[in-house]
């Protein structure tokens, strides 16, 4: 019997055992894989649970200690970024409105409100803002702020504008506290009835008493009126009582009253009562001249055209721009408004060196931030190309005028130039001060602030020491000392200089 070859039998056995071992290896590998997967799954569950526990614990602690004020103070928080943007946005809203860019102001206001809502929501829920919440608002606000900066609303303009608005708000708040009633009552209570009565009687005296008119005629030719060795003061007013207090207070505090000369200019209605009053009262030897605007022969059509929209007391205010024409022979005068009270001797004002300037004045920008940009429209190139918006402002009320320098600089012509430029009324709003700032720009000499303290007509909180040290106190504002609606704290400073001994005052007060 023939045997099979061995090489055919052995491979069969080997293939079988290979299959068996392959199955066993695969089974072991499968088990190992299942073990690893299960282990990793359990470990992942453990890690995830621990992480969730830690997050929950952190959030609980964070919720307990969250404080929006601290969050805003944090340099890396979204709340801090929003708060800083809101501060800039608020400033740019005001500036945009001032520049009549209402669309930009509206856009900034909209984003400002969204920022407020986000901060309020964070405070209510006790959680900090997230990037998802704050990011879009921060981005859009940044774009608007960049737009505002691109319009030249630079940081200097922002600061000065905000200071101006803060001051304006403070002034309004102070006035609101002091007044307690609406200013509409001022027209009813502007001048006390007994003063009206006295004015009528004085007008009658002027008409019926030829002696008064003769004395006035003699005074008109007095050499004292043009003597530059004397001290000359001018007042433009239709307010007899106010003008009387100005003259009386100046004379009362002068070391040498006989060296004082007062030049009062009024309108035709008040000319008679003014003459009768100053001619029938004693002012310690001081000279008082009263002029009627109707008698100013130089007041020709050119001047009238320049002030064609000014009538009554406003026209009297405008006459301060023609002082060299009113007093052609004088070299230096001190202008006093009819709502000031003089508390010191003013004669040393005439020896102050003005260094070639025309107008010696107390600047107001230090305490009240009253700079040129507050009064004038610097978006207009006529203004912005000629003036510095940060130049210090000042106020009429107590001004030393060098009339020689005035004539040399031709200030009156400068005033006419600016009136012409403002025919469409886009350079400044109504008021006497803006054209004054323009006409005297670069021609003012700053004086010590104690020469002229302002605000007694609107600010009830002026430092008493400042008032006591002041040479001149100014009741600028709506609450004049001669009306019922005034600041009672200051009224005695004015009342002490009213001469109530005149028979007309006594008669009218008792009637």
Question: For the chain, which residues make up each domain, given as ranges?
Answer: 69-153, 187-510
Query: What would the mean pLDDT of 75-102 be, rounded to a whole number?
Result: 78
Q: What pLDDT, on a 0 to 100 scale, did the predictor assign at position 197? A: 85
pLDDT at position 60:
39
What's the average model confidence in pLDDT over 430-446?
94
* Res 7 pLDDT > 50: no
Pick the CATH number of 187-510 from 3.90.550.10, 3.30.70.100, 3.10.129.10, 3.30.56.10: 3.90.550.10
How sure is the predictor about 92, in pLDDT bands with cuts at 50, 70 and 90? confident
Sheet architecture: strand order including 332-336: 287-292, 260-266, 231-236, 332-336, 398-402, 359-361, 444-446
- Residue, of 369 and 248, whose pLDDT is higher: 248
The pLDDT assigned to 13 comes to 45
Which DSSP string do the residues of 445-482 spell out, in sequence order? EE--GGG-B--TTT-TT--HHHHHH-SEEE--SS--TT
pLDDT digit string, tens, across residues 126-161: 778 888 888 888 888 888 888 877 775 566 666 666
DSSP bridge pairs for 264? 235, 290
| Rounded CA separation 291/272 (Å) | 10
- Closest by alpha carbon to 273, among 249, 241, 247, 229? 241
| Helix or strand holding residue 308 (H, E) | none
pLDDT band at residue 59 under the 50/70/90 scheme: very low
Does pTM surpass 0.85?
Answer: no
Q: Which of 274-283, 292-301, 351-360, 492-501 has the lowest mean pLDDT?
A: 292-301
Name the β-bridge partners of 398: 336
Q: What per-residue confidence (pLDDT) applies to 12?
A: 43
Report the length, in residues, of the chain.
511
Q: What is the dihedral of CA 426, 427, 431, 437, to 10 degrees?
A: 180
Q: What is the mean pLDDT of residues 190-210?
A: 83
β-strand pairing of 359-361 with 444-446 = parallel
Least confident of 53-67, 199-213, 316-330, 439-453: 53-67
Which of 145-159, 200-214, 321-335, 467-481 has the weakest average pLDDT? 145-159
Nearest residue to 403 via CA among 266, 255, 226: 226
Is 474:495 a contact under the CB 8 Å cutoff?
no
Q: Quote the CA–CA distance of 236 and 234 in Å, as a whole number.
A: 7
The C-alpha atoms of residue 231 and residue 261 are separated, in whole angstroms, by 6
pLDDT band at 172 (very low <50, low <70, confident <90, very high): low
According to DSSP, the residues that pair with 402 across neighbouring strands are 332
Position 166 pLDDT exceeds 90: no
In terms of average pLDDT, the best of 39-48, 91-100, 134-143, 457-466 is 457-466
The Cα 148–Cα 141 span in angstroms is 11
| 190, pLDDT greater than 60 | no
500, with CB counted inside 10 A (0-12, 13-18, 19+), is exposed
The Cα 316–Cα 326 span in angstroms is: 12
Residue 319 contacts residue 432 (beta carbons within 8 Å): no
CA–CA separation, 223 and 220 (whole Å): 9
Query: What is the band of 211 on the pLDDT scale with cuts at 50, 70, 90?
Result: very high
Kindly give the pairing relationship between strand 231-236 and strand 332-336: parallel
Q: Of 181-190, 232-241, 380-389, which range is least confident?
A: 181-190
CA 268, CA 140: separation in Å to the nearest integer?
A: 63
Structure tokens at 375: 């009064």
Across 18-32, 220-234, 432-446, 493-507, least confident range: 18-32
Are 476 and 397 spatial neighbours (Cβ–Cβ below 8 Å)? yes
Name the CA dihedral angle for 47, 49, 53, 58, rounded to a multiple of 10 degrees: 50
Bigger pLDDT: 475 vs 429: 475
Cα end-to-end span (Å), the chain: 171
- Separation between Cα atoms, residue 52 and residue 31, nearest integer Å: 31
Mean of the per-residue pLDDT values of the chain = 80
Residue 82 has what pLDDT? 80
Query: Which residues make beta-bridge pairs with 289?
Result: 263
pLDDT at 248 over 80: yes
Mean pLDDT within 231-239: 96
DSSP structural state of residue 3: P
Categorize the per-residue pLDDT at 484 as very low, low, confident or very high, splitting at 50, 70 and 90: confident
Q: Identify the pLDDT of residue 149.
A: 74
8 Å CB contact between 292 and 206 = no
| Measured CA distances, 206 to 62, 180, 275 (Å) | 87, 40, 7
- What value does the CA radius of gyration of the chain take, rounded to a whole number of Å? 41
Q: Are strands 340-342 and 444-446 parallel, antiparallel or unpaired?
A: unpaired
Structure tokens at 53: 């526990």
Residues 296 and 266 sit within 8 Å (Cβ to Cβ): no
Between CA 322 and CA 332, with CA 328 as vertex, the angle to 5 degrees is 80
Q: Which long-range contacts (CB under 8 A, 24 or more apart) does 379-385 make?
A: 379/99, 379/100, 380/426, 380/427, 382/421, 382/427, 383/427
Residue 34 has pLDDT above 60, yes or no: no
Q: What is the pLDDT of residue 369?
A: 59
Residue 300 has pLDDT above 80, yes or no: no
Q: Is the pLDDT of residue 100 over 80?
A: no
Q: Are strands 472-474 and 340-342 parallel, antiparallel or unpaired?
A: antiparallel
Give the model's pLDDT for residue 71. Answer: 63
Nearest-10 Cα torsion for 381, 383, 384, 387? 150
> Among 477, 437, 483, 434, which Cα is nearest to 457's?
477
The yes-or-no verdict on residue 448 having pLDDT over 60 is yes
CB atoms within 10 A of CB 226: 14
Angle between helices 210-220 and 193-208 (to 10 degrees): 80
Token digits of residue 139: 């981005």
Lowest mean pLDDT among 34-43, 206-215, 222-231: 34-43
In the block, tokens 């008409």 appear at: 207
Say which residue the tokens 């505002």 belong to. 148
Distance CA 252, CA 261 (A): 14
């Amino acid at each position: 019997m023939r045997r099979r070859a061995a090489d055919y039998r052995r491979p069969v056995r080997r293939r079988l055992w290979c299959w068996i071992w392959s199955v066993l290896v695969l089974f072991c590998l499968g088990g190992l894989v299942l073990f690893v997967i299960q282990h990793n799954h359990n470990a992942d569950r453990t890690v995830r649970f621990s992480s969730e526990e830690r997050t929950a614990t952190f959030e609980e602690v964070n919720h307990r200690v969250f404080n929006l004020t601290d969050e805003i103070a944090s340099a890396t928080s979204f709340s801090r970024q929003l708060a800083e943007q809101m501060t800039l946005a608020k400033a740019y809203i005001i500036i945009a409105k001032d520049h009549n860019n209402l669309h930009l102001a509206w856009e900034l206001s909209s984003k400002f409100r969204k920022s407020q809502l986000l901060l309020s929501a964070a405070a209510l829920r006790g959680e900090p803002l997230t990037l998802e919440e704050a990011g879009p608002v921060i981005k859009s606000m940044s774009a608007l702020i960049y737009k505002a900066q691109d319009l030249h609303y630079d940081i200097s303009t922002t600061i000065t504008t905000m200071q101006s608005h803060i001051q304006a708000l403070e002034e309004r708040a102070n006035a609101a506290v002091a007044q307690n009633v609406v200013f509409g009552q001022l027209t009813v209570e502007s001048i006390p009835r007994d003063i009206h009565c006295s004015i009528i009687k004085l007008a009658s005296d002027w008409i019926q008493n030829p002696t008064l008119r003769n004395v006035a005629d003699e005074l008109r030719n007095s050499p004292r009126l043009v003597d530059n060795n004397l001290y000359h003061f001018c007042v433009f007013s239709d307010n007899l009582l106010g003008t009387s207090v100005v003259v009386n207070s100046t004379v009362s505090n002068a070391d040498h009253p006989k060296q004082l000369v007062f030049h009062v200019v009024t309108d035709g209605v008040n000319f008679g009562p003014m003459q009768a009053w100053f001619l029938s009262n004693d002012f310690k030897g001081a000279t008082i001249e009263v002029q009627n605007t109707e008698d100013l022969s130089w007041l020709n059509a050119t001047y009238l055209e320049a002030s064609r929209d000014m009538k009554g007391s406003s026209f009297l205010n405008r006459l301060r721009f023609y002082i060299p024409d009113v007093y052609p022979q004088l070299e230096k005068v001190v202008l006093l408004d009819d709502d000031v009270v003089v508390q010191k001797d003013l004669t040393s004002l005439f020896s102050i060196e003005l260094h070639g300037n025309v107008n010696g004045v107390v600047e107001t920008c230090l305490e009240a931030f009253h700079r040129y940009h507050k009064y004038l429209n610097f978006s207009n190139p006529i203004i912005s190309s000629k003036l510095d918006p940060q130049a210090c402002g000042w106020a009429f009320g107590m001004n030393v005028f060098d009339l020689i320098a005035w004539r040399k600089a031709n200030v009156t012509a400068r005033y006419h130039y600016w009136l012409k430029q403002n025919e469409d009324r886009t350079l400044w709003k109504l008021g006497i001060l803006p054209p004054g700032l323009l006409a005297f720009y670069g021609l003012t000499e700053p004086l010590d602030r104690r020469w002229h303290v302002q605000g007694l007509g609107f600010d009830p909180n002026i430092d008493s020491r400042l008032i006591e040290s002041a040479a001149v106190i100014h009741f600028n504002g709506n609450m004049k000392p001669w009306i019922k609606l005034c600041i009672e704290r200051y009224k005695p400073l004015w009342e002490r200089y009213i001469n109530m001994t005149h028979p007309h005052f006594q008669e009218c007060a008792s009637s």
